[in-house]
Chain A
Amino acid sequence: MTITRSALARRVPRTIGVLLALFTAAFAVILMTVSPASAAPSADGDPYRVSGNVQLDGEPLEGVRLTIDGPGGLQEVVTDANGQWKVGVPEKNETYVVTLDEETLPAGIAVVDPEDDTPNVKEAEVGQGGRVTVNFFIGEGERHVTSFFDQFVQRSVTGISFGLMLALAAVGLTLVYGTTAIANFAHAEMVTFGPIVVGAVAAAATAAMPIEAALAVAIVIAIVLSAGLGLFLDVVIWRPLRRRRVGVVQLMIVSIGLSLTMRYLFQFFIGGGTTQLPFAAMEKIPLFGVVQMSWIDIASIVISIVVIVAFALWLSYSRVGKATRAISDNSPLAAASGIDVDAVVRVVWVLAGAMAGLAGILYAYYRPGLKWDMGTQVLLLMFAAVTLGGLGTAFGALIGSIIVGLLVELSTLWIPADLKFAGALFILIVILLFRPQGILGRRERIG
């Protein structure tokens, strides 16, 4: 073992050097193509407007709640004393879905439109002018209601799909934690990195090939570069810190610094706005019951499942996978029994990077849109998933992710949609109250 290890040690630096050079070059090229000119114009405070007026027979209705969904995420707004409402949105030439919450209308009153079976939901396109007005016809009549069961089914499907995507990212986070004890806040930026590369490459490649091919090429390149990012960070930052025997709290704070650095670097290059990846606004096709999905949604679920299963097989049966679990279990013991910890950790970083990048791409379609801080938006949910599962256990992270995904989506049945992340985080805190070690975690030793 010692022989192989020292041989490895001699061979590895050169390979890594080459990889690093390639990686840096590729990264530089990409950053060139994403020139600041192409970025959305504004940083904070979204520039465009969706607004409207809710009235009943000329009388303004106050306190009616509307949700606006589209690029930049879900927003909620309540009408003021004049019955008026408005929200800022980040993108023009995009479609936003405005839903009026009929529960907040006075009794016996509903949105009426005989032509439409969901009259309280409207699509509005923010055109070149950057502004659009959405009004609803309000009158006395039957409210349109999706039955609770239907909503439940629909949200469950979305929740599982979100949970699987989360799992893709969380598994890497938890493996890194298990093998290196780093609670890596910069994992959020590894998630953001994937879609950024896709956006840049797809934009550049559409000139040379059909858009489908361009997207495929872009995704492959993005995953390879995401893996490269994992390797790069391990070689340049984390391994040297391991050598210095930097403590876990310090490592965590380093990762926070790295997260800030990378996040603002992204903003530096792509600006503060939201951009859409190709096919983001795909038509939804009815599947069963009330469940509707676009091809992208379906592909997202299938990809997540395939990758997670492959990963689970790798972790359970491959030599390196077993070594990874051994290190997570007891690092000094694993090292003493001849496992080359550094090499395994490097593999873990590469895998974590690749899966985070892939998860980010799926997330860019789920939101929809790619934004400089999109990873940060789900970082806490990933941590919640990982913590629920018990820090450092990969299968725990999978279960935790699906629980969190379902919690996020199902909670909107009872609480306002703009509190759905808060609900999931709150439940995390409550669960830790009863199981401080997470669902699958073990307690620590004393003495």
Chain B
Amino acid sequence: MSGNAPGKKKPTASRKKAAVAEAPRPSAPKQREKSTGLHIGEAAPGVAKVDPIIVADGVRRTFGGLTAVDVEHVEIPRGAITALIGPNGAGKTTLFNLLTGFDKPDAGSWVFDGSSLSGVPAFKVSRMGQVRTFQLTKALGLLTVVENMKLGAKGQKGEKFWHSLVPALWRAQDDEIEERAMRLLTKFKLDAKADDFAASLSGGQRKLLEMARALMSEPQLVMLDEPMAGVNPALTQSLLDHILDLKDEGMTVLFVEHDMHMVRHIADWVIVMAEGRVVAEGDPVTVMKNPAVVDAYLGAHQDVDLGVVTGRYGDGKAGAGVTAAQIEAEGRAELEDEEK
């Protein structure tokens, strides 16, 4: 059916233009300027920020007897990259769910960009400019990659029931959105796949697609739940670059990551959670020396380097010891997982 549907067409001239305009970027890692002076006073859990985009107070969520999240006070600095770290089960994903309206807290309130978000449903949170991705990738498998992207755009006229029946009302806007989608896809090196079903992408490519799709809505705050998990090392560098680019474009980024090397590489600020609480905050270098953090991650084995434990590659030389075959096997296993 999709072949002759009026809403879809062959790649247009605009798409090709977009592809030419965007020259391949050098993928060599470059150390960019870190934002500093984000906080007021001593860096401690719940420290006030100079210009916070999110301020959360007393947010608590329990599942039966288990307290998954119990955050007294936390502020996310605007225009910076903040990493949310903590061992598995620390409550990071649950906190994401709460902040984005996907879950309801037992208690607590939080403010995004000056307006209270408690009780606001997820789709409205997203419309206000706070967009998230998921730990388990949610590519929309039976939509093409470009359709996935177009779904991300806000304020589409053709998404209203009656308007959608009159293509004249939305065709021009749709073409515009498609052009923007192709530009982003080119940047994320997915343009060649634009007309493939998203189900045919590899796990890492889906992560990229999900992030790109989130960007289609031109958010102020991007929340990425483990964006690097399952992405092969060849792609991680470009993912990191994309995240850094977001900051350059004026967006705020909050992301969950386990790999300390990556956190150190791109984060301006680090918030550490353990057992539902914020146990430490600070810039990446000081946080990693904080005994509370070491304790949260390692328990008794405090003689081991934290980067080694949390990183996926033993010696920190990401990707160096990994063969192409291994990466491919990983990808295949991922695909199988996805199919389940």
B-binding residues in A (CB < 8 A): 245, 446-447
CA A370 – CA B134 in complex, angstroms? 53
Interface of A is mostly: loop
Asked if B340 contacts A245 (CB within 8 A), the reply is: yes
Name the residue on B nearest A447 (C-beta). Answer: B93
Nearest CB in chain B: distance from A249 CB, A: 14
Nearest CB in chain A: distance from B316 CB, A: 29
Residues of B within 8 A of A446 (CB): 97, 102-103
Residues of A within 8 A of B135 (CB): 447
Q: How many residues of B contact A (CB 8 A)?
A: 12
Asked if B225 contacts A447 (CB within 8 A), the reply is: yes
Residues of A within 8 A of B340 (CB): 245
CA A432 – CA B107 in complex, angstroms? 24
A245 in contact with B339 given A447-B97, A447-B135, A447-B136 (CB within 8 Å)? yes
Interface residue? B96 (CB, 8 A): yes
Name the residue on A nearest B136 (C-beta). Answer: A447
Nearest CB in chain B: distance from A108 CB, A: 59
Nearest CB in chain B: distance from A216 CB, A: 47
A sample of 14 cross-chain residue pairs with beta-carbon separation below 8 angstroms, ordered by A number, consists of A245-B339, A245-B340, A446-B97, A446-B102, A446-B103, A447-B93, A447-B94, A447-B96, A447-B97, A447-B102, A447-B134, A447-B135, A447-B136, A447-B225
Residues of B within 8 A of A245 (CB): 339-340
CA A447 – CA B197 in complex, angstroms? 22
Residues of B within 8 A of A447 (CB): 93-94, 96-97, 102, 134-136, 225
How would residues 109 to 145 of chain B score, 1 for a CB under 8 Å from any chain A CB and 0 otherwise?
0000000000000000000000000111000000000
CA A245 – CA B339 in complex, angstroms? 9
Nearest CB in chain B: distance from A366 CB, A: 38
Nearest CB in chain B: distance from A336 CB, A: 14
Residues of A within 8 A of B96 (CB): 447
Residues of A within 8 A of B103 (CB): 446
Per CB-CB distance, the 7 closest pairs between chain A and chain B, nearest first, are A447-B93, A446-B102, A447-B134, A447-B97, A446-B97, A447-B135, A447-B225
A-binding residues in B (CB < 8 A): 93-94, 96-97, 102-103, 134-136, 225, 339-340
CA A447 – CA B225 in complex, angstroms? 8
Name the residue on A nearest B103 (C-beta). Answer: A446
Nearest CB in chain B: distance from A356 CB, A: 29
Nearest CB in chain A: distance from B68 CB, A: 11
CA A446 – CA B135 in complex, angstroms? 9
Nearest CB in chain B: distance from A124 CB, A: 57
Name the residue on A nearest B133 (C-beta). Answer: A447
Nearest CB in chain B: distance from A446 CB, A: 5
CA A447 – CA B226 in complex, angstroms? 11
Nearest CB in chain A: distance from B193 CB, A: 25
CA A113 – CA B135 in complex, angstroms? 76
CA A245 – CA B225 in complex, angstroms? 28
Residues of A within 8 A of B134 (CB): 447
CA A245 – CA B337 in complex, angstroms? 12
Nearest CB in chain B: distance from A435 CB, A: 15
Nearest CB in chain B: distance from A294 CB, A: 45
Nearest CB in chain A: distance from B106 CB, A: 13
Residues of A within 8 A of B225 (CB): 447
Residues of A within 8 A of B97 (CB): 446-447
Residues of A within 8 A of B102 (CB): 446-447
CA A446 – CA B95 in complex, angstroms? 11
CA A446 – CA B96 in complex, angstroms? 10
Nearest CB in chain A: distance from B302 CB, A: 30
Nearest CB in chain B: distance from A258 CB, A: 24
Nearest CB in chain A: distance from B97 CB, A: 5
CA A447 – CA B103 in complex, angstroms? 10
CA A170 – CA B336 in complex, angstroms? 34
CA A37 – CA B191 in complex, angstroms? 70
CA A447 – CA B96 in complex, angstroms? 9
CA A447 – CA B91 in complex, angstroms? 12
Nearest CB in chain B: distance from A181 CB, A: 11
Nearest CB in chain B: distance from A234 CB, A: 21
Residues of A within 8 A of B339 (CB): 245
CA A446 – CA B102 in complex, angstroms? 7
Nearest CB in chain B: distance from A180 CB, A: 14
Nearest CB in chain A: distance from B340 CB, A: 7
Known interface pairs A245-B339, A245-B340, A446-B103; 11 further A-B residue pairs with C-beta atoms within 8 A, sorted by A's residue number = A446-B97, A446-B102, A447-B93, A447-B94, A447-B96, A447-B97, A447-B102, A447-B134, A447-B135, A447-B136, A447-B225
CA A446 – CA B94 in complex, angstroms? 8
CA A314 – CA B197 in complex, angstroms? 48
Nearest CB in chain B: distance from A341 CB, A: 14
Name the residue on A nearest B340 (C-beta). Answer: A245
Nearest CB in chain A: distance from B170 CB, A: 31
Nearest CB in chain A: distance from B167 CB, A: 32
CA A245 – CA B340 in complex, angstroms? 7
Residues of A within 8 A of B136 (CB): 447
CA A428 – CA B225 in complex, angstroms? 37
